[in-house]
Amino acid sequence: MKDLGDIAHPPILADGLVRLRELRAADKAAVVKACNDGLVERFCYRVPYPYHENDFVEFLAYNEHFWATDLMANWTVVDRQSDELLAMISLEVLPLRQAGEIGYWCAPWARGRGVMSAAVRLVRDWAFDELELERLELTTDVDNIGSQRVAQAAGFRREGVLRGYLTARERRADDVLFAMLPGDPREPLVGLPDPRLEDGRVIVRPFEPADIPAVRHACDDPDVAYWIHLVPHPYTLADAEQFVIESRRRLAAGERARLAIADAQTGELLGSISLDRFADRQAAEIGYWVKREARRRGVAVAAARLLVRWAFEEVGVERLEILTYPGNAASQALAEKLGFRREGLLRGFLAVEPGKERAGRAELLPDGSLPPRDDQVQFALLKADWTG
């Protein structure tokens, strides 16, 4: 790490899109407006809320000494041409570990344009190339999908979820820890390609909070609860909310795409289809359910065909698997219709779900008794066999 005594204050950084400069008194109106935004309130717990002009005045004064006393570099991110305030970004140097921590917020009027990622890249490059830091970190709330995309776009890698890491306005928040080392490629890290698939009849897309009531209605159905592992019955609104939240988090993390199936004409939620990746084998498992009113209309087949194509062509999977309970004839017929080949019975694959009937979930033992765990029938489709 370089001797920071040589650096009197953080420099101006710029690229073709944005300029990072010192905070000025004239920034007050824009900062106050940005900091009163709902997402800043939700995810930036250190920013006072509601945010008043006095908060800005205090921050401006504090900012004068930030670098000298706390090794905290703070920049206002402005439009390169117009000097319009777009975001704020900071780098805190942690000298003991020769590391740095980046923090930021983006004004609501500047989101979705690559402004924040551009700023993170500029700070990243200064930290590695000028300060010669050995490690950079940033943390984002586990539900802050936008911020996770910014981190990934700047090449940061997920290292883990820190449970209950922050106290955020009266509640504990889980944070995703991202980090980058000087030798890492300075390229965007792509998780899963954006899944928005359609064929004119169905749309397969990420879940939205607005889907929660429809998920609740669809899953509060004995058939869904019976044939789909780990769906509780009765199924409450809280269960549906957790389902949607987890789906969004896991999609953002690139581990699993659990997606909504919607009617292409009406937008009505019809079901869900998911792709669970086993990255080390270039394989993935497909799972799905369709709500009672939408069955026998080819919805599952249509959604599955879209997902199979996406998996082979965009996600880079070489082998797809479908697992079903032995008694789920409908699901097995669908697997075969998609060209999957039955590979065998995986005995004792799943734990018994307490409170659920076992009929059709496990093959009886020779003496006619039920085994201690449930079976799954495995089907698989290889990319090499896929006819498109």
Partner 1 sequence: MDLRGIDVPTLSDGSLVLRPWRQDDAAGVAAMCDEPSVARYIPVPSPYTLTDGEEWVGDAARKWSEDHWAQFAVTRSETGELVASCGVKLDVERQSGEIGYLVKKEARREGVASGAVRLLIAWCFDELGLGRLQIRADPANTASRRTVEVCGFQYEGLLRANDVIRGERTDDVVYSLLPGDPRPGR
Handedness of CA 99, 39, 50, 211 (dihedral sign): negative
Beta bridge partners of 157: 179
- Residue 99-138 contact track with partner 1, rule CB under 8 A, x = bound: x----------------------------------xx---
| E-strand stretches of 207-326 | 256-263, 269-278, 283-290, 319-324
Q: Does 242 bind partner 1 (CB under 8 A)?
A: no
- Quote the DSSP letter at residue 282: T
C-beta of residue 207 within 8 angstroms of C-beta of residue 247: yes
Q: Quick one: which segment of 54-62, 94-102, 233-241, 289-297 binds partner 1 (CB under 8 A)?
A: 94-102
Q: Quick one: which segment of 31-39, 153-161, 227-235, 373-381 binds partner 1 (CB under 8 A)?
A: 153-161
Q: Does 165 bind partner 1 (CB under 8 A)?
A: yes
Burial of 98 (0-12, 13-18, 19+ CB in 10 A): middle
Token duo for residue 233: 């019955």
- Quote the DSSP letter at residue 325: -
Q: Does 281 bind partner 1 (CB under 8 A)?
A: no
Q: Does 163 bind partner 1 (CB under 8 A)?
A: yes
Residues 17, 145, 161, 264: which binds partner 1 (CB under 8 A)?
Answer: 161
Q: Does 71 bind partner 1 (CB under 8 A)?
A: no
| Beta carbon of residue 356, minimum distance to partner 1 (angstroms, whole number) | 25
Q: Does 162 bind partner 1 (CB under 8 A)?
A: yes
C-beta of residue 342 within 8 angstroms of C-beta of residue 306: no
Does an H or E element contain 243, and which? helix 237-253
Q: Which is nearer to partner 1, 65 or 172 (CB)?
A: 172
Q: Does 250 bind partner 1 (CB under 8 A)?
A: no
Token duo for residue 236: 């409450």
| Beta carbon of residue 181, minimum distance to partner 1 (angstroms, whole number) | 5
Q: Does 260 bind partner 1 (CB under 8 A)?
A: no
Q: Which is nearer to partner 1, 124 or 291 (CB)?
A: 124
Q: Does 164 bind partner 1 (CB under 8 A)?
A: yes
| Beta carbon of residue 175, minimum distance to partner 1 (angstroms, whole number) | 10
Q: Does 196 bind partner 1 (CB under 8 A)?
A: no
β 283-290/256-263 pair status: unpaired
Query: Rounded to whole angstroms, how far apart are CA atoms 53 and 56?
Result: 5
Structure-derived torsion over alpha carbons of residues 367, 373, 374, 375, reported in degrees to the nearest 10 = -80
| Beta carbon of residue 165, minimum distance to partner 1 (angstroms, whole number) | 6
Residues 24, 65, 97, 373: which binds partner 1 (CB under 8 A)?
Answer: 97
Q: Does 49 bind partner 1 (CB under 8 A)?
A: no
Binding stretches for partner 1 (CB under 8 A)? 96-99, 134-135, 157-167, 172, 177, 179, 181
